[in-house]
Structure 1
Amino acid sequence: MKRPDKLAPVVRLAREKEKTAALELALAQRDVARERQRGQELSAYLGNYQRDLDRGLKNGIRAADMLTRRAFLERLRRALAGQQERIRASDQRCEERRQAWLRCRRDAEAAEKLWRRRQQDERRAEERREQNRLDDYAGQRGGMMR
């Protein structure tokens, strides 16, 4: 087996690892988008609920209803804080996946570069061998003609 041929499986494996890392990054990006969307929806719901409560307070609301709504509003705020934490964690996972993909990509590119260099070296060596054969043949023919 020629030297470049020995590297082909290494290049193939590096590219597969890069592809897997890219897929994991895409999934992490999707998760970030989903978590951010949930956060936006929760924030909008919280804002709407707060406006409704404010309107109710202006128009007159029973004390028991006000306490119930404020308690619910507080639960919404805690839920939003929890969602923001999930967004931060999701962002961090996404960044970790991005760094992993970049490492895999660099590794794959380095393996491929080495493989191409070895192919070129092998081609040059083959050309030298062929030239030597031609030179030997020409030398043998020259000796026969004398």
Structure 2
Amino acid sequence: MARFVFQLQSALDWRYRLEEQALAEQAAARNQYQLIEQKLHALEYEMVSAQQLPFPAAGADLLNRAVYLEHLKQKILACRRALREAERRLEEKTQLYLECRRKRQVLEKLKEKQYMQFCYNLQVQEQKRVDDLSGSRYWHKTRAGG
């Protein structure tokens, strides 16, 4: 009996590997985004906490506080820029993964259709054999009996 062979199996396997790689890259981008987001929240909390401290009476302490708050503000701005970049990268990796998945699914669908056609052809061949056997038996019966 014939066995089904998908001619594009190597391409399908390659698509699987590309999809897995794209998924891993998406996960890495998501992790990076989450780390930056956590860092931003920590900085914002630190800023709020620093702003709620009572104002120092001395001039040097007041200047140190202002410098510290400005430093936190700059770190928050830099972190927000990094978060936007990480979000852009995550979106890019997500789109890449979705494209890889779509291309793999196209090949999967083609394989499924070819397999269904293969099964249909096998069924047709089997029916022809059965019909041939039935016809030859009938022919032998009528010839022997007639």
TM-score by length of 1: 0.86
TM-superposed CA distance for 1:4, in Å, is 4.1
Q: Is the 8 A contact 2:6 2:114 kept in 1?
A: no
TM-superposed CA distance for 1:78, in Å, is 0.8
Q: What is residue 135 of structure 1 aligned with on the other side?
A: 131
Is 1:10 paired with 2:22? Answer: no
The structure 1 segments of at least 4 consecutive aligned residues displaced by more than 3 Å after TM superposition are 1-4
Q: What is residue 97 of structure 1 aligned with on the other side?
A: 93
Is 1:112 paired with 2:111? Answer: no
- Amino acid aligned to 1:131: Q
Q: Could you tell me how far apart the structure 2 residues matched to 1:103 and 1:128 are?
A: 38
CA RMSD of aligned residues (A): 1.9
Q: Could you tell me how far apart the structure 2 residues matched to 1:4 and 1:107 are?
A: 20
TM-superposed CA distance for 1:83, in Å, is 0.2
TM-superposed CA distance for 1:132, in Å, is 1.7
Q: Select the residue among 44, 61, 66 that pairs with 2:62.
A: 66
Q: Which has the higher contact order (CA 8 A, sep 6+)?
A: 1
Q: Could you tell me how far apart the structure 2 residues matched to 1:116 and 1:17 are?
A: 20
Between structures 1 and 2, the one with greater helix share? 1
Q: Is the 8 A contact 1:11 1:108 kept in 2?
A: yes
TM-score by length of 2: 0.86
**Cα deviation per residue 1:113-135 (whole Å; 9 max; x = unaligned)?**
11011001011111111222222
**Cα deviation per residue 1:93-125 (whole Å; 9 max; x = unaligned)?**
111111111111111111111101100101111
Identical residues among aligned pairs (%) = 26
- Amino acid aligned to 2:44: S
In structure 2, stretches of 5+ residues that fail to align are none
Is 1:39 paired with 2:48? Answer: no
* Pair 114,105 (structure 1): closer, same or farther in 2 beyond 3 Å: same
* Matched pairs, number: 141
Q: What is residue 55 of structure 2 aligned with on the other side?
A: 56
